[in-house]
Every structure is written in structure tokens, then in C-alpha cells.
Structure 1
């Protein structure tokens, strides 16, 4: 199975014969090109045209982040699975507003169901979030009556607001008090973790869409506009609660990440390199965890589930197959 490579140190990344080489303060390290799916760059790394040509031919994506954990952009190799037919069907589904609304609604139904699964898990473990579960269940039922993207997103916003109120109950840690969602810059440690985790999930989902015939520029919930990619944001909504949020809860409740793993900078809170590495380790462990899939005979990883979600969406768009978003059962 191919894996993701994370580079935190400063240095140089280049082609060495028929593989990759990273050269930094700690010396040189070979990176077998056939084992790599994506590269995540957090340090100051020099690259050249020869290197980019090589990873393009190897179909490897590179995601760049700056010092403040902000996603900067992606080197996106030339698509190799592109289908004119699929792109046409994607565009048709976007331009047909009723179809677009139906797909967008599915994403938020999936996200809300998985939020409820997370809350029910902690509710069974003596964390009383029963009233919040009831409120969100009512909002979930209301989604079927929403006929515009704006009202669907409004319901999603209300769900998130109630959900985020549960974080302090689940964590019960005064070093990680959470008041409200804030971005660019995140105002507290929880917001810093959410922003970093969501950003990691967005780029991971982009890498999985690249392995399908879908065009990541055509999204449904998130408007297709001057933004480079939007479909990865859509599909990620389904998996945020069960991948990003569960990772955050584990890291804090097990004291793997503490307040010492953060810096205050430019009016916001950001993770130190050590904190990022801790997060990424647990994030990857979660992605590589396998589950018994109800429709398959073999076990599949969470990472594979994200790609399967893209395949399911493609089947809906091209063949009219019913699309049921992934629902965690645990």
C-alpha cells in the first residue's frame, strides 16, 4: 500500500536516479518513489523542474503548508484517469439545480449522521450529551425539506454549533476550553487542532479523488467558482466527525497533546512541529485502521473509504445509482 510522506525540516527535495531524495540538516534520506502516494511539505523545501517532472510521471501530489499550518496549495500532476463523459455528467449535475441540491443534502445528511454517532459513543461513556443528540436529530429530520444550498448550509451551521458545545463535555480539560469556532487565526488550542485536522483531511481527500475519474474542481455543496478545488471539501464533510474530531478527542483525553505543544503567534494559536507530528501520527493511524465493510467481504481502511465515497458519487452522477453516504457504526 502506498503511503504519505511528511516533511517538517528545511532542505532540498530532488530526483536521485529513479527515486526521490530529501537532503536536510540531518543528512540525506532516500524516499522510494513507488511507495509514495502524496507528499506533505511543512518546512522550507527547495525543489526543481526535474523533480517536478519526475513526480508528475509518478503521479505523486505535493501539498504545501506554511508556518501557520495554513494550506498553501497543491502540485497537482496531470490527470491520468480523466473521462470527458464523467466531467460532462458532473457538470450536468451541477447545472441542474435540483440535482445539485440533492447531492449537497446527501453530504450534510452523512456528516450529521456521523456527528450523531460520535455523540452517542461518548454519551454511552458517561458523557451526558443526550439533549444535544435530540436537538441534532430534529435538525437532521429537517434536512429533507431544504430546497436550496443556502438553507442546507444553514442547517449544517446549526448542527455544528450544537455539536461544538459538546466538546467541553467530551474533553473536560481546562487547557482545552472551546468557546466558538474561529479561523485564520485560530483563537484557542481546539480551534488550532480543528483547522489543522480539517486541512489535512481536505488534502487527503483531494489525493483520493485524483485516483478516480471525477474532477475535484466541480463541487456541489461548496460552490464551484474561482476556488481551485471544491469536491474534496464536499466529501470531507462526511468524514470530519469520525476522522478529525475523534483524533482530536483521543489526543487530548490521552494527554498525547498538551498545552506545551502550541505557540501563540500573530494573535492566534498554532501547533509546534512536535504537536503537528503527534497529530499526524494519530491521524495516519486512524486512516490505516481497517473495518469490516457491510457490502464487502474484506476489511477496508478509512483512507480507502474516502476513495470509495468518490466512486459512489461517480456512480450516482453517471449511472443514476442511489447514493447513500458512509455512516460509521461504532
Structure 2
């Protein structure tokens, strides 16, 4: 069964026949090519074109993160599951305003429902459901984004009711995150984004054509759309679990 490999230290990726090896000061570790689903590189990674050729042949992406855990980019192999028909339909749904609005609203509805479920799990009363009803009256993408922003702002406000003293969020901050919880959220969101991108690669969808976020050059914006749905249940719930179970402590942060 294939799995993800997370490289947390500096080193070199080398190829010998159909096996990739990670080499660092601690030694050499084999990464059997038929067992790799994706590679996540958090350290400084050096590799040759031979490694790239093998990973491309096997359809294995590598996601790169900087020292602080922010997503830098991905090596995205040449797509093998190509579909001209689906690409045309995907573009048509972006260009048709009504169709785009339907899809964009679904992304926000999914995100809102999961935010509400997380808060309900912790028995916190909230108005996210009421705010989500405003989607029905939205006639532009900016209005949909505004609803999403208001829901997430309210959701983040309630986070401190779940987190213990010493791990309060005190508002969302980015680049740089101003405290431990914000650092965890940024780290988790980056990991989720790259994971979603890996899953898109295994479909016939084009990752650059999106509906909620505007498609721009040099970014896979469809992964941003899809990530919105899963942030509350995959990133935030995990943070609450790790912090409240004291599996993460203040000394784990620099």
C-alpha cells in the first residue's frame, strides 16, 4: 500500500535503479518507489534529474515547504489522466457565471457546515448557520467570499472557548503567525493544501481552474477551493485534540 513520506531534515534524494534513497548525516534510508504516494519536504532537499525522471514516470509529486512550514511549491508530474472533454466542461463552468456561483456556494456551504459541526461537538452555540443562509442572496463571487469570511471570523472567535490557557488564538494572524495556535493553523493548512493537490493529480481535473478563488498564474487554486471544506475537520479538530490532550506543549515551539 502506498503512503506519504515526510522528510523533516536536510538531505539528498538519490536514485539507484527503481529505489529512491534519502541520505543525511544519520545515514541512508530507502524509499521504495512502489510504496510512495507523495513526498513532503520540510528540510533543504537536493536531488538529481534521475530522481525527477523516476518520480515523474511513477506519477509521484513532491511538495516543498520552507523553514517555517509555509508551502513553497510542488513538483507536479506530467499529467497522465488527461481528458479534453472534462477540461472544456471545467472551463465552461468557470466562464458561465450562474454555474460558477452554484459551485462556489457549495464550497462555502461545505466549509460552513463543517465549522458548525466542530463547534457543536464542543457544545458551543454559534450563528454560522444563520450567516450561511445569506448565500442564497449572493449574486457575485465577492459576496460569496464575504459570507465565507464572516463565517470563518465567527468560527475563529469561538476557538478560544475550546483551547486551554497558554494556547489561546487571540485572533487569526498570518505571515508570520503571531502565536502557537496560529502557527499550527498555518502549518496544517499548508499541509492540507498540498495533500488536496496530490488528490487532484489523481483525477482528470485541472488544478488551475477554480470557482471560489480566482484562478491566477503560478498557483493551483482549485486546491484552495477544496481545502476550505476540510480545514475545520482535518486541521482544526486535530489541533484541538493535540493541544487539549497535552500532546503538544509550549516547549515544542521555537
Give the TM interval when normalised to the shorter protein. Answer: over 0.9
User: How far, CA to CA, are the matches of 2:204 and 2:183 in structure 1?
Assistant: 33
For the pair 1:152 / 2:133, whether they are aligned, the reply is no
Per-residue CA deviations over 1:56-87 (Å, capped at 9, x if unaligned) read: 00110000011011111100000000111111
Q: Report the CA distance between 1:183 and its aligned residue.
A: 0.7
SS in 1 for 2:22: strand
Q: Report the CA distance between 1:165 and its aligned residue.
A: 1.2
User: How far, CA to CA, are the matches of 1:165 and 1:194 in structure 2?
Assistant: 14
Match of 1:207 among 165, 178, 198: 198
Q: What does residue 26 of structure 1 align with?
A: 26
Q: Greater CA deviation, 200-209 or 17-26?
A: 17-26
Match of 2:165 among 144, 162, 174: 174
Q: What does residue 56 of structure 2 align with?
A: 56
User: How far, CA to CA, are the matches of 1:111 and 1:139 in structure 2?
Assistant: 12
Stretches of structure 1 that go unaligned for 5 or more consecutive residues are 124-128, 264-330
Q: What does residue 250 of structure 1 align with?
A: 241
Per-residue CA deviations over 1:80-123 (Å, capped at 9, x if unaligned) read: 00111111111100011111111000000010001111111110
Aligned-residue Cα RMSD (Å) equals 0.9
Q: Report the CA distance between 1:179 and its aligned residue.
A: 1.5
Per-residue CA deviations over 1:29-75 (Å, capped at 9, x if unaligned) read: 11111011100001111101111011000110000011011111100
User: How far, CA to CA, are the matches of 1:118 and 1:174 in structure 2?
Assistant: 20
Q: What does residue 153 of structure 2 align with?
A: 161
SS in 1 for 2:166: helix
Q: Report the CA distance between 1:8 and its aligned residue.
A: 1.0
SS in 1 for 2:77: coil
Stretches of structure 2 that go unaligned for 5 or more consecutive residues are none
Q: What does residue 188 of structure 1 align with?
A: 179
User: How far, CA to CA, are the matches of 1:137 and 1:12 in structure 2?
Assistant: 49
Q: Report the CA distance between 1:227 and its aligned residue.
A: 3.6
TM norm structure 2: 0.98
Per-residue CA deviations over 1:172-203 (Å, capped at 9, x if unaligned) read: x2211112111110011111011000110000
Q: Greater CA deviation, 221-230 or 50-59?
A: 221-230
Q: Report the CA distance between 1:136 and its aligned residue.
A: 1.1
Match of 1:220 among 187, 211, 221: 211
**Structure 1 residues 112-123: aligned runs within 5 Å:** 112-123=112-123
User: How far, CA to CA, are the matches of 1:183 and 1:239 in structure 2?
Assistant: 19
Match of 1:141 among 133, 155, 164: 133
TM norm structure 1: 0.76
SS in 2 for 1:37: strand
User: How far, CA to CA, are the matches of 1:144 and 1:19 in structure 2?
Assistant: 53
User: How far, CA to CA, are the matches of 2:230 and 2:11 in structure 1?
Assistant: 33
Q: What does residue 295 of structure 1 align with?
A: none
Deviating runs (4+, > 3 A) in structure 1?
Answer: none
SS in 1 for 2:215: coil
User: How far, CA to CA, are the matches of 2:97 and 2:8 in structure 1?
Assistant: 43
Q: Report the CA distance between 1:145 and its aligned residue.
A: 1.5
SS in 1 for 2:156: helix
